[in-house]
Amino acid sequence: MGFDKINDSGYRQRKRRKKREVDMGEVVNAIFYILRAGCSWRMMPDDLPACLTVYSYFRRWERKGVWQKIYTVLRSLPAGSTT
């Protein structure tokens, strides 16, 4: 889907002091689940990370413009491209 393009888009990651307790891939999957299903945050399945954790990352990334950057990168890919 172009995640390698997004990871290489120049987004600078800060140095972590402690290990994350949540898998970021699962956080992204949970956000996509909410967007696809159109349900409320609290109705997420139990096999995804906690709803407040996912919502916090979603809002943080929204404030920092991460979603707009992802959209811009994906928009620049050729039509029908999966890599």
What pLDDT shows up at residue 46? 93
| pLDDT by 10-residue block (mean), the chain, 83 residues | 52 68 90 93 93 94 91 83 63
- Host H or E run for residue 59: helix 51-64
What pLDDT shows up at residue 21? 85
Determine contact, residues 13/6, Cβ cutoff 8 Å: no
State the residue for tokens 């999957």. 29
What pLDDT shows up at residue 30? 95
Question: Radius of gyration (Cα) for the chain, nearest Å?
Answer: 14
What pLDDT shows up at residue 17? 76
What pLDDT shows up at residue 52? 95
Q: Where are the domains of the chain?
A: 3-8+23-76
Q: How far is CA 56 from CA 30, 72, 81, in A?
A: 12, 22, 31
